[in-house]
């Protein structure tokens, strides 16, 4: 109804998973890369958990599209299968005709087929969606299937996607054998308020929108507070907010539009989500594994849908769009107006990061000292350990690029924290980020590395230089608060 009003080619916020709308922020892209790596290179069962509406099914669909050709997948969308029904589903996915056979015969046929696939150089992975709803007997049968092997190689891999209830189910005594075989666990974090703005505008752009940001800061806060950072809830609220703005013949989403959407959706507060420290702790394996995945896929061409997760800027004044007014259309639908809600969602109190007295050890490159706002813009004649040569504020990009090159040349640094990367090199935009880093007093910790992403020349933005992977991982908690909130960080291994 509102597509033409906003210049859209398709609905931007439908809740049906469509991979063109996959958003890689808030650790989704890192989990996808780590899943591809672990399926291709590592044995063991993998578990991906997340709240209702956090994007697990979308991630599963992306995985189906991105896996290499030698990986064949069997997707189980219906988790409430009995033990026999699950075996039939896997046999059917392998192209076997085992109708009416006993369970023992089905298992033997599945093993024979898996061995045949292994001889052909194929790997088979079973993706189980909504695994928290799978009966214990069926999960146990999956474990028995995972035990099948030829020589030292497993014949089958399993990825479980489920809500946090899956963790409780696996903690039961009768599930301990299955739990012991889970080698990687990834958690889907909710979207922070800053990332939510990038997410909503990413969906708008993917649907054909070309104008400025249409969500006011107050509207974004209201969506973030009501959705608890869950993508499905944010999609519902954003969709209905667009409709409310269309009815008012405006192009700027204000709090009253979101309140109307909240009332119409009858959304209640989601369950309390884990705090940031708990999420960072549960994502430890993901950060480490993604570092290996980044190294493994560095020279592999791939297509990515990533956006630049820099701090988004907001506008206090409504933007003006060149779209035609919808008064004529609105007049033909007088009953479409959404009545604004009376209740206003309470403000969410921001938390400040705790000071950590003993941060992880860093390797400081004295040849590339930090930039201070009081330094004179004169480059030094030669690098000196005890001096702080001045660098022009208008050339921070080249200075931190040189720091990155020096980081690669010396041999002491093992790992760094990747804040984000771009698949194109945009010095002007990166300069703005570096100027903000200088104001935070952390510019000396920022390193820029040129990188290849398929056929594209891009840029990695790193934070810190550390002597080990563990040191880089432990230093994540010491990042500036705004970096922890805005970026889905990962460990970059040199």
**What secondary structure does DSSP assign to 263-331, as a single string?**
HHHT--PPPPPPPHHHHHHHTHHHHHHHHHHHHHTTTS---------SPPP--SSPP---PPP-HHHHH
Q: Could you read off the pLDDT of 60-81 as tens digits, one per residue? A: 999 999 999 999 999 998 888 8
With respect to residue 207, please indicate whether it lies within any of the assigned structural domains: yes
Under a CB-based contact definition with an 8 Å cutoff, are residues 195 and 486 in contact?
yes
Tell whether the model's pLDDT for residue 258 goes beyond 90.
Answer: yes
Is residue 162 domain-shared with residue 65, that is, in the same domain? yes
Tell whether the model's pLDDT for residue 269 goes beyond 80.
Answer: no
Q: Could you read off the pLDDT of 470-494 as tens digits, one per residue? A: 788 889 889 998 888 777 777 787 7
Mean pLDDT is lowest, of 33-37, 119-123, 420-424, for: 420-424
Residue 153 CB contacts under 8 Å (≥ 6 apart), including other chains: 43, 118
Helix (H) or strand (E) holding 380: none
Domain around 230: 192-270+312-331
Percent of the chain with pLDDT over 70: 73
Mean pLDDT is lowest, of 40-44, 51-55, 108-112, 246-250, for: 40-44
With respect to residue 105, please indicate whether it lies within any of the assigned structural domains: yes
With respect to residue 258, please indicate whether it lies within any of the assigned structural domains: yes
Mean pLDDT (the chain, rounded): 77
Is residue 181 domain-shared with residue 196, that is, in the same domain? no
Q: What CATH number is given to the structural domain containing 113?
A: 3.40.50.300
The count of domains in the chain is: 3
What is the pLDDT averaged over residues 424-433?
Answer: 83
Tell whether the model's pLDDT for residue 259 goes beyond 90.
Answer: yes
Tell whether the model's pLDDT for residue 442 goes beyond 60.
Answer: yes
Mean pLDDT is lowest, of 261-270, 393-402, 407-416, for: 261-270
With respect to residue 342, please indicate whether it lies within any of the assigned structural domains: no
Ramachandran angles phi, psi of 121, nearest 5°: 80, 20
Tell whether the model's pLDDT for residue 255 goes beyond 60.
Answer: yes
Percent of the chain with pLDDT over 90: 44
Is residue 87 domain-shared with residue 230, that is, in the same domain? no
Return the higher-pLDDT residue of 326 and 155: 155
Is residue 71 domain-shared with residue 217, that is, in the same domain? no
In this prediction, residue 432 carries a pLDDT of: 83
Q: What CATH number is given to the structural domain containing 443?
A: 3.30.70
């Amino acid at each position: 109804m509102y597509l033409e009003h906003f210049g859209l080619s398709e609905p931007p916020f439908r809740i049906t998973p469509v991979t063109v709308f996959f958003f890689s922020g808030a650790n989704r892209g890192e989990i996808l890369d780590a899943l591809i790596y672990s399926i291709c290179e590592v044995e063991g069962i993998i578990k991906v958990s997340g709240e209702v509406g956090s994007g697990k099914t979308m991630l599963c669909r992306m995985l189906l599209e991105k896996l290499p050709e030698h990986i064949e997948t069997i997707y189980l969308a219906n988790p409430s299968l009995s033990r026999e029904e699950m075996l039939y589903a896997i046999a059917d996915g392998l192209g076997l005709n085992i109708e009416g056979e006993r369970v023992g015969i089905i298992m033997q046929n599945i093993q024979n087929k898996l061995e045949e696939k292994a001889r052909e150089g194929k790997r088979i992975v079973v993706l189980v969606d909504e695994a928290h709803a799978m009966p214990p007997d069926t999960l146990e049968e999956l474990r028995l299937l995972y035990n099948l092997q030829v020589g030292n190689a497993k014949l089958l891999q399993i990825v479980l996607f489920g809500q946090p209830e899956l963790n409780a189910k696996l903690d039961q005594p009768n599930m301990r054998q299955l739990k012991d075989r889970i080698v990687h666990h990834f958690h889907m974090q909710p979207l922070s308020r800053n990332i939510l703005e990038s997410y909503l505008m990413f969906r708008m752009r993917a649907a054909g929108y070309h104008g400025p940001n249409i969500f006011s800061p107050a509207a974004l806060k209201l969506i973030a507070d009501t959705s608890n950072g869950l993508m499905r809830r944010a999609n519902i609220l954003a969709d209905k907010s667009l409709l409310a703005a269309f009815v008012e013949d405006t192009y700027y989403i204000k709090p009253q539009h979101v309140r109307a959407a909240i009332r119409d959706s009858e959304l209640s507060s989601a369950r309390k989500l884990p705090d940031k420290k708990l999420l960072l702790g549960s994502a430890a394996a993901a950060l480490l594994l993604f570092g290996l995945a980044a190294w493994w896929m560095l020279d592999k061409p791939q297509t990515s849908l990533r956006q630049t997760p820099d701090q988004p800027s907001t506008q206090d004044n409504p933007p003006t769009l060149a779209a035609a007014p919808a008064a004529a259309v609105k007049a033909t639908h007088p009953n479409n107006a959404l009545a604004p809600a009376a209740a206003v969602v309470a403000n969410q109190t921001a938390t400040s990061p705790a000071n950590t007295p003993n941060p992880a050890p860093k390797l400081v490159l004295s040849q590339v000292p930090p930039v201070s706002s009081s330094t004179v813009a004169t480059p030094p004649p030669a690098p000196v350990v005890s001096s702080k040569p001045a660098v022009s504020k208008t050339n921070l990009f080249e200075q931190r690029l040189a720091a990155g090159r020096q980081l690669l040349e010396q041999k002491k640094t093992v790992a760094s924290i990747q804040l984000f990367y771009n698949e194109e090199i945009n010095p002007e935009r990166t300069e703005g980020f570096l100027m903000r880093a200088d104001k935070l007093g952390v510019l000396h910790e920022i390193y820029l590395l040129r990188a290849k992403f398929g056929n594209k020349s891009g840029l990695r933005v790193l934070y810190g230089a550390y002597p080990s992977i563990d040191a880089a991982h432990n230093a994540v908690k010491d990042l500036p608060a705004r970096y922890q909130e805005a970026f889905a960080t990962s460990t970059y291994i040199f």
